[in-house]
Each structure stands twice: as C-alpha cells, then as structure tokens.
Amino acid sequence: DTAVSQTPKYLVTQMGNDKSIKCEQNLGHDTMYWYKQDSKKFLKIMFSYNNKELIINETVPNRFSPKSPDKAHLNLHINSLELGDSAVYFCASSQGRRGEQYFGPGTRLTVT
Amino acid sequence: SQQGEEDPQALSIQEGENATMNCSYKTSINNLQWYRQNSGRGLVHLILIRSNEREKHSGRLRVTLDTSKKSSSLLITASRAADTASYFCATVVNRDDKIIFGKGTRLHILP
C-alpha cells in the first residue's frame, strides 16, 4: 500500500491556467508538507500543516494556495500558472514537526 | 543563505569502496536527517540523529554529528550500484521546528 500518494504524476499545462495537485497519506501522521524541487534538484519547503492548521508558509506567491480538508489530505492549488512554476512538487508527511518525513512520488509540472 | 550545505556536490567511486558525504549547517538544531533520492523518485528517509547524539548506525550507514562544528557526515560502507542516488541532509531548526534541506550530493557508484 502506498504511504504517501500524489495525483497527478505528470501535469502539462499552459501559462495562465489554474491547476490542482492532490496528496493523501495513510500513515496516520499529523503533519503534511509541500515542497518544490527545481531543475537543479534544490528542494524548498513551501507549506506545512499540523493537524489541519497551517504552520509554515514560506515566501511563496499567493497564487499557491494549500488546502487541508482533513489530516490525511493536503492539496495544492495553483492559479495563473507561470513558466517559472515548472518543477517537481513533492508532498510529504511526518508524525510531529520534528520527525522523519515520508515523501510522495512527486508531480512533475510543466508549464508551456 | 542555505542552512545545510553538502560536500562534495558530486562523488564517483568504485563499487565496494566507502563513500563519505558531509553536511554543514548554521543554526541550532533539534535533529539532522539524511535522505536518499533515486532519479525521478521521491526522497526516502535514511537516518535521523538528534542534537544530543554523536553517532548512529543503520546497516551499512554511519552518521556522525558534531554540534560544536555544526557538521554531520554520512558514511556508506561497501558501496553497491544500487547506492547510486542523490543524498540530502536536512536540519530541523530549534527556533521554529522548520526543516531545511541542503542541495544534495550526487553519488555515482562505478561497476
């Protein structure tokens, strides 16, 4: 059984569109994250939720809006997509804010 | 500037040799974690070492932590082709429990 799953795996879209990426974890963790990994493999945290409450909100354009309907899900909605949004987006979860993280397989977003 | 910096950026060694990667950081941490990322995949957690620990082992992995020097090392003994991957260190900062990843070391094991 997949511990942390993301959909879709690949997303190709045009500039200006709005898209969503979904993430689900079945580990019973209370903390979930969104990361962006650029072409140089640099991994940067975007958001973190603990028990459905936003606890980390890095300097991310407000075109990016996370939503956590429950502790097992953390979705990422992106408005008005730009070329620079092209990257791989990873979801992760952990038990507590200091614990080891379990990553999803990633969503490769390509904006044309 | 970056909290965690891995060194070297890339490393190629022969199968069977040991591989050592280093990580330096700047602020006070609660713990330091090492992750592996195979090409096109998500990160996989390898080992977590707390700030009051100095050394930890897991199979062929050995991690050390020197909080006075703000540095950690990951040693992979008897390397195998399957160890080819990128390795990242991540620090959980004491001040706000934020986790910060380094830029990674690309390890290539030559047959």
Q: What is the mean pLDDT of residues A83-97?
A: 96
Q: Is residue A37 within 8 Å of A43, Cβ to Cβ?
A: yes
Higher pLDDT, A82 or A2: A82
Q: Provide the pLDDT confidence category of residue B7 given band limits of 50, 70 and 90.
A: confident
pLDDT at residue B4 above 80? no
pLDDT number for residue B5: 78
Give me the half-sphere count of Cα atoms (radius 13 Å) on the Cβ side of residue B109: 19
Q: Provide the pLDDT confidence category of residue B1 given band limits of 50, 70 and 90.
A: very low
pLDDT number for residue A59: 78
Please enumerate in sequence order all residues whose Cβ is within 8 A of that of B59, keeping only pairs 6 or more positions apart, or say none.
none
pLDDT number for residue B43: 96
Q: What is the mean pLDDT of residues A73-97?
A: 96
Q: Provide the pLDDT confidence category of residue B79 given band limits of 50, 70 and 90.
A: very high
Q: Is residue B77 within 8 Å of B18, Cβ to Cβ?
A: yes
pLDDT number for residue B84: 97
Higher pLDDT, B14 or B40: B14
pLDDT at residue B2 above 60? no
Instruction: Give the distance from residue A13's alpha carbon to the nearest chain B alpha carbon, in angstroms.
Output: 20
Q: What is the mean pLDDT of residues A86-112?
A: 96
Instruction: Give the distance from residue B9's alpha carbon to the nearest chain A alpha carbon, in angstroms.
Output: 11
Residues of A whose CB is below 8 A from B90: 101
**CB within 8 Å: B31 and A98:** yes
Which of B6, B36, B99, B105 is best to mutate for the A interface (most A CBs within 10 A)? B99
**CB within 8 Å: A100 and B92:** no
